[in-house]
Amino acid sequence: MRKTKLQYLLIVVLCLGMFFSSTVYASALSNDAEMVQKISRLESLIEKYNSDKTYVQIDWTKVSEENLAFMEDFSDEDLENYIHSLYVDAENVKTTVVGVSAEPAIAPHIHDRPWTTYDRSADVFAGIPNIGVCWIRIYYHATLSKDLYFMDGDVYNSKQVGVAVGSWDHVTGGFDISYYKTSADVTATGILTYGIPDTILSVSTEQTFLYTDSYRNYEQ
């Protein structure tokens, strides 16, 4: 089910681009055979490399001679290597946890309820090669026993915060408790979309951001 959702979102992104391309393409490029040829070269390579995980697409709002200039000195081999590098970069997004915050407990300790549920968020820093950085904030609940063992949890949302290099669409989350119940892997999976500067290209890629929570974070 999760995979189907992600594939669906990526397909929607691609189809919307193709839909809006019809009128823009006709009006802006009808009298410019050279631009049409350049875009056709890009489209053929994009179709070759697009996958369920990562799509490169043409941003039709940026079609101009200036934003096609990057292709001027590219041989066919150079252009293919360049397009391929966009997919490699998307697969090598580096992440680091930069901050965690906890809101007041949802269910404080009482005599007949020996656990506490916390509302928490974790900020994960992501570096996109050759593009920039972004921060994804993961929102989740964590339930711990009085002895600070993880009992349950869920990820209910995530969003991009701070300076944005693109957009983030949350799809799903995971809360996986370790065998000894002393830690939990908190994940948010979604579609990260960003533009490639000085080109007509943008990238949509499935990414998963991870924060490992520990019982030590709940010690008084």
Identify the helix (H) or strand (E) that includes residue 12.
Answer: helix 2-29
Write out pLDDT tens, residues 99-148.
787 665 665 555 567 888 999 999 998 888 888 888 899 999 999 998 99
113 and 31, same domain (yes or no): no
What distance in Å separates the CA atoms of residue 10 and residue 117, rounded to the nearest whole number? 34
51 and 70, same domain (yes or no): yes
Identify the helix (H) or strand (E) that includes residue 14.
Answer: helix 2-29
Q: What value does the mean pLDDT of the chain take?
A: 83
Tokens, residue 220: 């008084």
Write out pLDDT tens, residues 179-202.
999 999 999 999 999 999 999 999
25 and 78, same domain (yes or no): yes
pLDDT at 151 over 60: yes
CA distances (Å), origin 173, targets 47, 63, 79: 30, 36, 37
pLDDT at 194: 92
Instruction: Evaluate the CA torsion angle 91, 92, 97, 101 in order and state its sign.
Output: negative
Strand-strand pairing, 132-145 and 150-161: antiparallel
For the chain, the domain total comes to 2
Residue holding tokens 């070759």? 48
What distance in Å separates the CA atoms of residue 28 and residue 17, rounded to the nearest whole number? 15
Domain end point (choices 90, 105, 124) = 90
Structural domain range at position 6: 2-90
Write out pLDDT tens, residues 16-74.
555 544 445 545 555 577 788 888 889 998 998 998 899 999 998 888 889 888 888 88
- pTM, rounded to two decimals: 0.81
Contact 2, 172 (CB under 8 A): yes
140 and 204, same domain (yes or no): yes
Domain end point (choices 90, 119, 135) = 90
